[in-house]
Amino acid sequence: MLDQYFRRPRVRTRLRANRLGAWIEAYVDYLDHRGHAPGTIQQYVQGVEHFGVWLASQQIAIDNVTRATIDSFLHDHLPNCQCATPAPTCLYQVRAALVHLLRVPSGRPSNPQPVPQLTPVTVVLGHYGSYLRDTCGLAESTCRYRTRYAREFLQGKFGDGPVRWGRLRPEDLMAFTAGYASRCRPGSAQVAATSLRSLLRFLQLRGDCEPRLIAAVPHVPSWRLDHVPRTLTDEQLGQFLACFDRCTPTGRRDYAMALCQVDLGLRVSEVSTLHIEDVNWREATLRIVGGKAGRTRVLPLTERVGRAIAAYLRNGRPATICRRLFVRHTVPVGTAIGTELIRGSIRHAFAQVAGCGHWTGTHALRHTAATRLHRHGATLKEVADLLGHRSIDTTAIYTKVDLPTLATVALPWPEDQS
């Protein structure tokens, strides 16, 4: 593999003679497998070679390399380096090159720094996360954000020191919730308060918390159906879908992901976890495993969504052993995508649509799907089943944006008879 990226024999000879030469061949294989561009691989190898030359000049044995050694090279030597061979590379690229070098089994230092000890708060959070997943059966995304709020509260109270539950006071809970209420929207503050109550219920089950502390968490005022969901108009929807360049593999993938949200009402987490086996082409259905409520549901695969997915699978999806439907097209190529990648592609498309440039979330697509279905005659029960709502009351909000139907039941404005 080294011969493929460095064709000059004298360059290959120099690389193999380097103090890290025994690792460079495996290092190049690792980078190539991840899907790095040829130019990036060559730059990274130059950075590793430079590091090897410096190790030899400092008479540092490979077995004695630690992260402190790497930090000294990056921050003490590299900014003042005057050598011309190998060509100096920018600090960011060399740091990235050495980070990847540590991930190659044969290139990992034999005496890395010890793993930090777990703090008492970290131990509690580990038990709390298992409780949320195994006992409560919550979706992974819900477990993550509840654990995040719990970590913020516990670290703010106890830091890295011992956890003494007897020190918890009602005013601590009120201050935490009030902090979110003062700087966030009511919905976000309500989520923080709900997560805090969840943590306290877990502590109560363990005998570490009294019920009075749970009751001390303030309730953030929230009125059902007090707002109108943000949706795309038909014109905006057309502009939004036209933003995806379906002549490129990435554009085909992003277009198919967007249609899954705007036509089928999928959550961004549901799109990211779709597997190839979830698409049943013969029955024209799409299986959603788990979901936010932890229930599996089967949705009809519309013609437009089916064509978009088929186009991506045939002419866009890179060769990979990963069974996820949508995968990465940048390093590491062929691995499962995350929700942030999907949100990023949607934000980029929103920025090109008039009136949507400031939108950042993806739930507007889910709202648009529900509103369009209800406007075209679907009942609230049918919309709730599609979206995976447990209660039809959750779906009732979409009746507020069905303006044609609302207009038929609105009373006429009284005229002035004087």
Residues designated as active site: 267, 292, 363, 366, 389, 398
288 contacts 277 by C-beta, under 8 angstroms: no
| 162 residue type, one letter | P
Residues 6+ apart with CB under 8 A from 88: 50, 78, 81
Residue type for 309, please? I
Distances (CA, A) of 92 to 40, 53, 78, 188, 281: 12, 19, 11, 36, 46
Query: Rounded CA gap, 322 and 35, in Å?
Result: 14
Tokens of 200: 């306290």
Closest C-alpha to 367, from 337, 401, 336: 401
Q: How many Cα atoms are found within 13 Å in the side-chain-facing hemisphere of 219?
A: 4
Q: Which helix (H) or strand (E) element contains residue 288?
A: strand 285-288
Q: C-alpha distances in angstroms, 413 versus 10, 115, 210, 407?
A: 88, 72, 56, 12
Across the strands, what pairs with 286? 279, 299
Residues 314, 253: Cα–Cα separation, whole Å: 11
Rounded to the nearest 10 degrees, the angle between the axes of helix 303-315 and helix 249-262 is: 160
Distance, CA of 313 to CA of 326 (rounded, Å): 9
326 neighbors 257 (Cβ within 8 angstroms):
yes
Kindly provide the b/e burial profile for residues 280-310, where b requires at least 16 CB atoms within 10 angstroms of the residue's own CB: eeeeeebebebbbeeeebebebeeebbebbe
